[in-house]
Amino acid sequence: MFNLKYPKNITDPLMTGGEADSINNLRVATRFIREDIAASVEVFNLLGFGKTIAVDLLDITSKGVLVASDQKLGINKKIVLTLRFKSGEAFIINSTVARRSDSSGNEYGIKFDAFNHELGDYLLETQEKLVFK
C-alpha cells in the first residue's frame, strides 16, 4: 500500500535494487549547461568599491549558478552576478556565494537572493541544444 503522506516511500514495483535508490535526487531545479552566456561577478570591499571578476559558467538554474574562477571568492559573500547572453539580453542578479567545491577549489556555487523566474523563462525560450546536468 502506498503511503501518500510520505511520498519518498512510493516506488515503482518494477524497479530493482539500484534503480530504486537513484530516486532520492535532492535537486530541486533542472540544471542547464549553456555556452552562450558570459558571466561575471562584482565583489564589494568594506568601503563599497566593487571589483569585477570574469568567471566561467559551468551550469545554471533559475535559483543559482555554478562557476569557476581563478580568484578566490568568500563563502557567504554578497555579490552581484551579471549574465550576458549572446543575444544581448543581460540579467543583473543580487546573489550570495553559497559553497566552494571540495574536489576542485576553484568552483563556486552561487545562490540567487530571490527566485529569478524571468531568467528561468528566458533560459527555456532560448534553449537550442538540450543539455542537462
Q: Is the pTM of this model over 0.75?
A: no
* pLDDT tens, residue by residue, 56-68: 999 988 889 999 9
Q: What is the pLDDT of residue 44?
A: 87
Q: What is the pLDDT of residue 92?
A: 95
Q: What is the pLDDT of residue 68?
A: 95
How far the first Cα of the chain sits from its last, in Å, is 33
Q: What is the pLDDT of residue 28?
A: 60
| pLDDT < 70 positions in the chain | 1-29, 129-133
Q: How far is CA 21 from CA 14, 16, 63, 92, in A?
A: 13, 9, 26, 39
